[in-house]
Structure 1
Amino acid sequence: MNVEEIKSVLKEQREDADNLMSKAISRDVPKEELLVNLSIPNVLAILGVRRSGKSTLSLLLLKDKKFAYVDFDDERLRNLKAEELHMVEQAIYELYGNTNYILFDEIQNIPGWEPFVSRLRKTKRIVLTGSNSKLLSGELATSLTGRHVDFILFPFSFKEFLRFKGVNYTEPFTTRERAEIKNYLREYMSIGGFPEALLLNSKQIINSIYNDILLRDVVQRLKIRRISKFKDFSSAIISLYSSEVSLNRIAKMLNVDYKTIDEWFYGLSSSYLIYPVERYTGKLSRIAENKKVYVVDTGIIQEVSVKKDFGRLMENLVAVYLLRKNQNRGVYFVKGEDYEVDFLDEKSGELIQVTYDEDGIKERELSSLVKASSLLGFKPKIITWDREEVMDYSGKKIMMEPLWKFLLK
């Protein structure tokens, strides 16, 4: 490609971007905080699973700024070489003038891109998007120690889902509103929060998104050859949502060596498709034990997993809520010899048990929560489907909160 051809592509991309911004649903993100951190020579990286709305969010962040936009997910630019990126820079100046802000979408598609951005960020405010947690793992990360801000974007939260539906409920909720919210929550649990799936009102698009993540963000990046076996592995992991996962057991089941399985697991988590949650030990060091696995979106669970357990789907929603709120930090599960609690949210200081209390809350869930609370000193909470009260159990006050209300905070 030459500069004129690149300019033509960038002009088309900007027209599409302006059209996208005019229709975008606002996201619940700390916009001002992110922009304040975007000062020279800092770089702002918007990360997250493919097709979760990273491009749209980035465009909305810069909407009131004079900025240049380059989408490297465009097949016309995807085959550029790092040494040709100077032509992109020239095209930017010719189209936009001496702009202060530049948004590079999915720039990791260009191998060796880091020196290019490292040079530009000394005079420009740079926003990057990426579908892989190792976007800033190379040369740029070395030169940007303490000079980049990462923000993980998830598919629509339940609150954003309601906004997309044009629904706005405020407390106090009427009986009718509570019933409607629960119906919307069931729909959200079924289709999930990928913007494209909601726009098209189609579950079929979720399979397309899922396969796109596997092939483009894992298979291609890790150069996986045993694609069929890898897909079996991914299906097995997705089916184990809200459960502890033993990679050794899966390796034996699929007749694949542990090292390969571990690499595949790393690929799924670095693509933000799954989120491994560690057991709480009171230390921040990594521990070589099984992790619980949660899937980024319940729509994918519904399409991939054979078994759909309502209680586990509720737990997965709570996990994603906490991971989104805490930006994938400070969320654990708690397990002792005779007790287990679904979540410890270090930031809020809460131990959280999730239960679909159709037949009443089980004794072991209550006793586990109280024991963990007494040992660790965190406040106990139970997320239910519909119960809202304060329970007194073994001398502990336990707050019980409906899932829909918890997700709307």
Structure 2
Amino acid sequence: MNEIKQVLVDQKARLERKFEKEKIIERDIPDLKKYLSHPNVLAILGVRRSGKSTLAEMLLRGENFGYVNFDDDRLAGIKVDDLYKLEKIIYELFGEVEYFLFDEIHNVKGWELFVSRLREEGEKIIITGSNSKMLSGELATALTGRHVNFTLFPFSFSEYLRFKGVKIEKVKDTFTTSSEGVIKRELGNYMREGGFPEVLKISDDLIFSIFSDIVYKDVVQRLKIKRIELFKVFTVNIIKYYSNEVSLSKLSKTLKLSNNTVEEWFNGLINAYVVITSERFTNRPREGMTSPKKVYVIDPSFITSIALDSSKGRIMENLVALQLSRMGEKLFYLKGNNYEIDFLTRDKAIQVTYASGKDEIPKREIEGLNKIKTKEKIVITWDYEDKLGEIKFIPIWKFLLTI
């Protein structure tokens, strides 16, 4: 009991030091605290080290709340029965708290019923987690309509600029010439460094430890994978497919693995937010289910540092996929006869091409858009802006900052 008390005191003190010493920026997110105006559970999900804990702490600044980080190695092996003891310790240390914040509570088997009981007793709770499946079990059943999920990504480009202290000058929707120059330079840095907060605060070298942590803690341990080195090879191969369709059957043959194993490993990477996928748009459901998915990586730093790739056109497409996902769009791509649309959303068709002038834009990008009907038709370029008929041409930096 005294050991757990010491852990919670240490964790709260570390929390306070973070806000005193580290650079904390506001995130471009909706008002999440409104979901806690009544007894409720707010689940902040996303890839490990994307800033979920910091965001949760920012929401509760100035409030009296109980805090437990279950990723602390001193709490390894804690059982669900211990959670009730832990609740008593929180009240003993912090008094009548108004909120509970539980980091990575899914590390405790059976945690769902504990959180459900707290909510039924009128408590307001924030939980964080680095696996998208953590709410698919008993908690989802017990709290139907009484919990809200929010997925947090690493820094967007606008958040990256804010962290770097870059001030953008514009009049209405027009950026000044000097701001444009700075933005374009920083975009190149962002495409290489990515948006993991710790990497930007400390060193690019942290990318490798973050990647290893995600692979081991959020996939290998969860799926109980024994062929760890082979799984790492598989993961790097998946990342190398970014902005392309991935054939799991081909990968299974190349790595001499069963189709079931490859599918399980691939889904493990999706659930841990290492990659996101885009489905082929079709009016035939069976075709959509069996068609290859396109793969996008959660942060460009994994592309440049882990896959050792710096293809600007493909990284641009990856950034667009992340931006659309941040906006809550489900990703689809379209393949027709002799044409392909990179992204189809509810009201947009979007092509992405690395072009700085009209003459550099491949004809197939335009022809594809002319063959479909949608509210908006957009070609995202590197540095070309115009409008020709129904089609808007938008530079990637402007798309990332204004859409």
Instruction: Check conservation: 2:50, 2:197, Cα contact below 8 A.
Output: yes
Q: Counterparts of 1:205 and 1:166 in 2: how far apart (Å)?
A: 21
Instruction: Check conservation: 1:380, 1:398, Cα contact below 8 A.
Output: yes
Equivalent residues in 2 for 1:87-102, closer than 5 Å: 87-102=85-100
Equivalent residues in 2 for 1:304-383, closer than 5 Å: 304-326=306-328, 329-346=329-346, 349-358=347-356, 360-372=360-372, 374=373, 377-383=374-380
Instruction: Check conservation: 1:242, 1:315, Cα contact below 8 A.
Output: yes
Instruction: Check conservation: 2:277, 2:331, Cα contact below 8 A.
Output: no
3-state SS of paired residue (1:28): coil
Q: Report sequence identity in percent.
A: 50
Instruction: Check conservation: 2:40, 2:123, Cα contact below 8 A.
Output: no
Instruction: Check conservation: 1:131, 1:272, Cα contact below 8 A.
Output: yes
3-state SS of paired residue (2:220): helix
CA apart distance, 1:90: 0.8
TM value normalised by structure 1: 0.93
3-state SS of paired residue (2:148): strand
Instruction: Check conservation: 1:40, 1:121, Cα contact below 8 A.
Output: no
CA apart distance, 1:248: 0.6
Structure 1 residues 252 and 284 mapped into 2: Cα distance closer, same or farther (>3 Å)?
Answer: closer
Aligned to 1:190: 192
- Structure 1 regions of 5+ residues with no counterpart? none
Name the Cα RMSD after superposition: 1.5
Residue 14 (1) aligns with residue 7 (2): no
Q: Give the letter aligned to residue 367 of structure 2.
A: S
CA apart distance, 1:350: 1.0
Q: Counterparts of 1:7 and 1:181 in 2: how far apart (Å)?
A: 48
Given candidates 389, 392, 400, the residue that maps to 2:393 is: 400
CA apart distance, 1:5: 2.1
CA apart distance, 1:77: 1.3
3-state SS of paired residue (1:301): helix
Q: Give the letter aligned to residue 185 of structure 2.
A: N
Given candidates 377, 382, 386, the residue that maps to 2:383 is: 386
Equivalent residues in 2 for 1:32-181, closer than 5 Å: 34-122=32-120, 123-171=122-170, 172-181=174-183
Structure 1 residues 281 and 378 mapped into 2: Cα distance closer, same or farther (>3 Å)?
Answer: farther
Aligned to 1:224: 225
3-state SS of paired residue (2:341): strand
What does the per-residue CA deviation read over 1:134-162, in whole Å, with 9 as the maximum and x for residues that have no partner? 11122111101121100000000000000
Instruction: Check conservation: 1:21, 1:59, Cα contact below 8 A.
Output: no
Q: Counterparts of 1:177 and 1:382 in 2: how far apart (Å)?
A: 23
Q: Give the letter aligned to residue 61 of structure 2.
A: K
CA apart distance, 1:39: 4.5
Aligned to 1:27: 27
3-state SS of paired residue (2:192): helix
3-state SS of paired residue (2:391): strand
Q: Counterparts of 1:135 and 1:338 in 2: how far apart (Å)?
A: 41
Corresponding pairs, count: 393
